Amino acid sequence: MQGMMMDRPLLISDILKHAARTYGDVEVVSRDTDGSLFRYTFGELARRARRLANALHNEGVVHGMRVATLAWNDHRHLEAYYAVPGMGAVLHTCNPRLHPSQLAWMLNHAEDTVLLFDPAFLPLVEVIASQCPRVRKYVALGASAPTSTKLTNLVGYEEWLAASSDVFEWPEFDERTASGLCYTSGTTGNPKGVLYSHRSAVLHSLVLGNAQALGLTRDDTVLPVVPMFHVNAWGLPYAAPLNGCRLVLPGGRLDGASLYELIEGERVTFSAGVPTVWLSLAQHMQTKGVRPSTMRRSVIGGSALPETMVRLFAESFDVEVRQGWGMTETSPLGTMSAAAQDDEKVSAAERYRRATLQGYPVFGIELALAGPDGAHLPHDGVAQGELLIRGPWIASGYFNHDAMPLVGGWFATGDIAAIDAGGCMRITDRVKDVIKSGGEWISSIDLENAAMAHPEVVMAAAIGVPHPKWAERPYLYVVLRQGAALDTAELRTFLEQRVARWWVPDDIEFVDDMPIGATGKVQKQILRKRYVEQAAC
C-alpha cells in the first residue's frame, strides 16, 4: 500500500523561497575584492537571484545547460548558487587555483556556455578563453566590465543584472534534475565531474544543519571559509539560509589576520574550513595574544585533524573544533566526530582524542569496509579496509565519464579506514598513500599527527619510500615553527613515545614549507617526486 502524501519535488529554489519568506530580514555580509563589506538580506538575495535567472535566460541559457563560476565566497557567487540551479541549469563551480590548461579542459568537458568570474581572475580567464570556444558570455562579477583586449562578449555583472527584471517564477521539475557540477582534483588522469541533483542537495542541506552534524540555528552567524568552488563550500550556502543563519562570506581574503578581523567584526559563531586555514588563524591569534569573543564552534575537514589543533582551539581560544569527513563525491558530508555535549563525562584529553577520529555517519549515510578480495570486513575497530559509502547524496557515476565508482552499489572512496563496534570511523590513509613496511601497515595519518603533537612542529607529511629489507619505510617531511631548535634525533625520541618503535622513520627531513594543493591538502605526489629526484642525485 502506498502512503497518501503529496509528491512535491525537493528543489533548491524552495530553500531560497523559504529563506526569503521566513528569514527575509536576515543578513548576508560579503567581503568585496577591495576589502569593503557589502550587506543585504535574504529577501534581497532572492530578488537578485531572480534578476540573474532572467539575465541568464535572456542569454539563451535553458534547462540542463551548464554555467560556470570562477569566484570567491561572496554575495554574487551566492546569487549564482540559487539562480542557476533554480532555473533548471547546472552550476559548475571551478577552482581558480588549478592550472589554466586543467581549467580549460574542465570548461570544455562541462560544455559551459557562460562563465561568471571574479575580476581578480581576469588574466587567468584571458589565458583560457581562446581554448574554450563554447563559452559565449563572460560576466565579470563587479560593477562594470574590466578592460580586456582578449575577451569579446564581456559584461559587468551589475550592469547586466540591472537590465533584467526581478520577476521570475522558479520552475518546477523533477527533483533528480542535475543542479551542480564539481570536478575532483584527481592526481592521476583527467578530473572527474560529480553531478549533484536538487534532491541530493536539499537532503544534504537538511542533514547538515541538524544537531548531530553542524547544529545550525537561527542564532548562528556562519562563516564558510571553505571555498564555494570546493564541494559547494560543504553545502553551507544552502544549509545556512535554510536554517535562518546569518551568513558572512570572506571573499578572497583568507589570511589569519583578515579572518580574525571578520570573525570579530561580524560576531561569527560558527565557521568551517580546512586545517591549513585554521593554522594561520591560530598563528595570528597567538602572535597578537587575542581570542575570538563570539566564535564557539568550528568544523574542520578535508584532511585529518591533528589533536594539537583541537587542544589549542579548546584551551587557548575556547572554540570547540569538530571534524567532518567527506569528499567531492559525497556532497561532502559523510561523518562527523562526536560533539562535546556527547562527551560530558569523559576527560578533556579523551575528548580531544575523539575529535581526531573522523566519527559517526550522519543520518542517511551507511559505511562499510572492503578487504583486498572485496569481502566486507568486521566493524571491530581493528580491521582496516577501503571505506565504502552509500546514501542519497553519494555519487553513482561521473559526468560524461566511463569510470564506474560503484562496487555492489557502494561508492569506493579510496580511503583506508577502521570502524569500531559503536560505528565510529577512523581514516588511516588514502589507498595510494599507504605505507606497508615488512608486510604491516603504517598509518601515515597517525604518524603525521604524532609528529604534529610536538610543540615545535607546524606540519608533517609521511610518504612510503622503497627499502631493501622492509619493502617500504616511512619518510617524514616536517615544517618547524619559525626559530625552532629541534633536531631529527629529538623528534625521533618524541615519536618513539607515541607510536610503535618500528613506525618511527629513520629519515626525517625538515623543509621550509609543504606543497599544498588547490583544495588545501598536502600534495604527496610532489613529495614523492622530490624524494625520487633527491635519491637519484
- Across 286-373, the runs of DSSP E, i.e. the strands, are 297-301, 320-326, 333-336, 360-361, 366-370
Active site residue 329: yes
Report the nearest approach of ligand AMP to the CB of residue 520 (Å).
9
Stretch that binds ligand AMP, among 23-31, 212-220, 295-303, 389-397 (CB under 6 A): 295-303
**Nearer CB in complex with ligand AMP: 119/326:** 326
- 59, 79, 307, 329: the catalytic one is 329
**Beta carbon of residue 195, minimum distance to ligand AMP (angstroms, whole number):** 14
Residue 358 interacts with ligand AMP (CB under 6 A)?
A: yes
Complex with ligand AMP: residue 53 or 427, whichever CB lies closer: 427
Residue in this structure with the C-alpha cell 546569518, named with its chain if needed:
246
Position 272 contacts ligand AMP (CB under 6 A): no
Q: How far is the CB of 186 from ligand AMP (least distance, A)?
A: 9
Establish if 430 lies at the interface with ligand AMP (CB under 6 A).
yes
Count Cβ atoms within 10 A of the Cβ of residue 233 and give its class: 0-12 exposed, 13-18 middle, 19 or more buried: buried
Q: Is 523 in the site for ligand AMP (CB under 6 A)?
A: no
CA distance 409 to 390: 7
Q: Judging by DSSP bridges, how do beta strands 246-249 and 221-224 pair with one another?
A: parallel
Smallest gap, in angstroms, from Cβ of residue 526 to ligand AMP?
16
Q: Of the listed pieces 15-23, 148-156, 216-224, 408-416, which binds ligand AMP according to CB under 6 A?
A: 408-416
User: Which residue of the set 150, 288, 432, 436 is catalytic?
Assistant: 436
CB 528, CB 534: distance < 8 Å: no
Of 449, 424, 426, 429, the C-alpha closest to 441 is 429
Q: Does 520 bind ligand AMP (CB under 6 A)?
A: no
Could you confirm whether 192 is annotated as catalytic? no
Q: Among this protein's residues, is 356 annotated catalytic? A: no
Active site residue 441: yes
- How many residues bind ligand AMP, per CB under 6 A? 20
| Binding span for ligand AMP by CB under 6 A among 6-14, 327-335, 371-379, 475-483 | 327-335
427: contact with ligand AMP by CB under 6 A: yes
| Amino acid identity, position 497 | Q
Which of 59, 307, 415, 446 binds ligand AMP (CB under 6 A)? It is 415
CB of 462 to ligand AMP, least distance (A): 14
Nearer to ligand AMP, 251 or 301 (CB): 301
Q: Which of 65, 233, 304, 418 binds ligand AMP (CB under 6 A)?
A: 304
328: contact with ligand AMP by CB under 6 A: yes
Assign 3-class secondary structure to 258-280: HHHHHHHHCCCCEEEECHHHHHH
Residue count (the chain) = 537
The reply to whether 410 sits near ligand AMP by the rule CB under 6 A is: no
Stretch that binds ligand AMP, among 2-10, 214-222, 265-273, 298-306 (CB under 6 A): 298-306
Nearer to ligand AMP, 249 or 522 (CB): 522
Q: Which is nearer to ligand AMP, 154 or 309 (CB)?
A: 309
Report the SS3 class of residue 236.
helix
- Are the C-beta atoms of 114 and 139 separated by less than 8 Å? yes
Interaction of residue 301 with ligand AMP, rule CB under 6 A: yes
Question: Exactly one of 41, 184, 187, 488 is catalytic; which is it?
Answer: 184
The sign of the CA dihedral 109, 112, 116, 122 is positive
**What minimum distance in Å lies between the beta carbon of 227 and ligand AMP?**
11
Angstrom distances, CA of residue 398 to CA of 110, 112, 198, 329, 511: 11, 16, 16, 9, 37
Q: Closest separation between CB of residue 138 and ligand AMP, Å?
A: 27
- Tell me how far, at minimum, the Cβ of 118 lies from ligand AMP, in Å: 21
How do the residues of the chain divide into helix, strand and coil, expressed in percent and rounded to 5?
Answer: 35, 25, 40
Order of all β-strands in the sheet with 90-93: 154-156, 137-140, 112-117, 66-70, 90-93, 178-183, 193-197
Beta-carbon contacts of residue 133 (< 8 Å; ≥ 6 apart): none
- Residue 365, number of CB atoms within 10 A of its CB: 20
Q: Grid coordinates standing for 119? A: 575580476
> Which of the residues 154 through 213 are near ligand AMP (CB under 6 A)?
184-185
Residue matched to cell numbers 579510496? 414
Question: In the block, which residue shows the cell 591569534?
Answer: 285
Task: Examine residue 384 and tell whether it contacts ligand AMP (CB under 6 A).
Answer: no
Query: How do beta strands 360-361 and 333-336 pair?
Result: antiparallel
Asked if 331 is part of the footprint of ligand AMP (rule: CB under 6 A), the reply reads: no
In the complex, the smallest distance separating the C-beta of residue 221 from ligand AMP, rounded to whole angstroms, is 24
Q: In the Cβ-directed half-sphere of 391, how many Cα atoms lie within 13 Å?
A: 25
Contact 12, 86 (CB under 8 A): yes
With CB under 6 A as the contact rule, the residue among 98, 116, 225, 231 that binds ligand AMP is 231
User: Which sequence positions are flagged as catalytic?
Assistant: 184, 329, 436, 441
Q: Which stretches of the chain bind ligand AMP, using CB under 6 A?
A: 184-185, 231, 301-304, 323, 325-328, 332, 358, 413-415, 427, 430, 519
